[in-house]
Structures are given as structure tokens and as C-alpha cells.
Amino acid sequence: MDGFQLYVTNTLTIPPVGYLCYKDEFTWKPPFQNITQTIPCHTLGKYVIYYDDTASDEINTIILPVVELCYVAINGCQKTFWGTSCDISCPESCLEQHCYPGNGSCIFGGCSNSNCLKSNCDRDTEVCIEGCRTERTGSYCDKYNLASDSSILFNSNGNEHPSLATDGNIKSCVTTSGADVLVQVDLKEMCIVAEIYITVIVNTTKDGNHIIYASNNSDLWKSGIVLYNNESSPTVISVNAVFRYLTYIYYIQNQFLELRVCEIGIVGCPATHYGPLCSKLCPVYCSGPCDLETGNCKFGCANGWIGDKCEL
């Protein structure tokens, strides 16, 4: 097998004209190549050509290459699909929708972000097009989403399940209507929140009020902190607040309205974690959640411990 070449091409031209996957270094002397080889090759093509024009001197009378191929297996997927069973569609944001069979990343360029829903992202800006996978939020789906594990309540909605508003998919929405619209997200514990992402569709051109409250009581949300109050619908809100309940209300006086809530993302960490994507544990003796960046105990220490991290 010494000196052979392996090509992937779209024609049967010999010598092959195409992508050279592998070229063996020719040698007359042992050790020779193992007769069973696995050769990685990531490209698109119609033909796989084993080509060998190197003579052999294993038998003195033979001057041309002699090859006996006993078994050939070619692993891959049809174009536009990937995965173990080739049943996952390549991201539409990949150029020509071509992606590697092993991981779904783009072959010819484009955008493929595994944190984006269906890995789809804008080819130019890399912003995620359809939303984010579980526990991710933000334009690039690079932030931890507290809303993924929350429960959500609407004061009025149709047949859609309320969880569609926190499932990561910005194209699956909950339709709610009435004289005013109220949506409440329960984080299930007090958390430090840094940002809020909201995708809504309003069916009226009349001016109304969008108000977002943060509170620690589901019934007394009006006595909480006002995070947003504006006639324009919210999209991204930077905050620095500690709360359990997020309450979003939209109303127009004397006007029956319809609002589609497509996605609510809440950036922060569970009370016991901090750091990038909440990958670090807060100190054991913190009394309450710790600082998202430093891990310092913002609300003091339990059981007599002291220090920034209650380690003394």
C-alpha cells in the first residue's frame, strides 16, 4: 500500500482531480503500512478514488502496483444532513446548507452555533435566528437563562401552553388578550438578575404602557421594583436586582388588546452559583445568593462566619 493516494472528486478523471484526502509516503523499506487503515476526510464529493501509481519490488518481476482491496467503508451523510443516523438537518445558515456529518458545523462557511436553536445564526452578525437551546439566552445564546427552569403564569391566554414563552424558541408564542395583559415568571427562589430579554408582538398601533416589576411576592408585585416603564415594547433590559418574581404588564386604557409573548430570557444564576454560565459554586456559608462575578457573599454570612466569602 506504500505510496497510494486517496481522493474525493466529482469526476472519474484519472489521475484524479479533486480533494486529496491522504497521500502515503512511499518507501521501499519496512516497516510498511498497516493493511487496515482509517483515514479521516471531511469534504463533499461524488466519488472516492484510491489511486496508486507506485511500483512494488516485493516480487522482482512485478513493476506495476498491485493492490487487493478487501473491504471499503465510507462513513458520511447525504448533503444537508448530519448526525449518527444522518437525520439532523444542517443549519440553514451554513452556506448551501452543507455541514460536517460529525458535529453539524458549516463546511463552506456561514454560521453554526451549537447554543443557538437548531444551530441557526445569521451569517453576517452571528446572532441566533430562532432562539436558544435550554438554559441559554441573549442574542448569541451565550448567557445562562434562569427562565428555563421557571414557571410562568398568564392572566389570559388561548390554547398555547404558557411554557412556550420560556422554551428558548422565539417563534413559538403564547397569545394573550384583554383590557390588560399580565405575565408572571416565578424563578422559584431569590436570584441576582443582570439582564432581561423579551420578544413580544403587539397587535395595535396605539400607545400603551409596558411595565416590568421585580418582587419577592407573587401577589404584591405592584409594591416591587419597577425595572421598565415605557410606551415601546421592551427587548433588552440591563438590571442589577435580586428577586423571585418577574411581572410584565401591558395595558391601553379602554382598549381590548392582544399580545403575543414569544420569549422571556432572564440572565443570572441560581442562588448557589456564579461565574461565566454559572459554572462555579457560591461559598457554602453565604446567606443568600452570591455576587455573579466575584462570588462574594452579598448578603452576609450564616452561622457566625465572616469574610467576603464567609471563609473565616
Show the CA angle centred on residue 172, arms to residues 105 and 184, nearest 5°. 120
Asked if residue 164 lies in contact with residue 172, where contact means CB atoms within 8 angstroms, the answer is yes
The residue ranges of the chain whose pLDDT is under 50 are none
pLDDT at 217: 94
Could you give the residue range(s) of every CATH 2.60.120.260 domain in the chain? Answer: 146-268
Number of CB atoms found within 10 A of residue 248's CB: 24
Classify domain 146-268 at the CATH topology level. Answer: Jelly Rolls (2.60.120)
Strand segments, DSSP code E, in the chain are 5-9, 19-23, 47-51, 81-82, 88-89, 136-137, 143-144, 151-154, 174-178, 180-202, 209-215, 225-230, 236-251, 257-268, 273-274, 280-281
Asked if residue 140 lies in contact with residue 128, where contact means CB atoms within 8 angstroms, the answer is yes
Asked if residue 140 lies in contact with residue 113, where contact means CB atoms within 8 angstroms, the answer is yes
pLDDT at 128: 92
pLDDT at 22: 87
Spatial CB neighbours of 100, under 8 Å, sequence gap ≥ 6? 42, 82, 106, 107
CA dist., res. 155 & res. 257, Å (int): 13
| CA 211 vs CA 183, 190, 251, 255, 258: distances in Å | 11, 20, 9, 17, 16
pLDDT at 63: 63
pLDDT at 190: 94
pLDDT at 105: 84
Instruction: Burial-class residue 85 by CB neighbours within 10 Å (0-12, 13-18, 19+).
Output: exposed
pLDDT at 187: 97
290 DSSP β-pair partners: 297
CA dist., res. 142 & res. 249, Å (int): 27
Express each pLDDT in 151-183 by its tens digit: 999 987 678 899 999 999 999 999 988 777 899
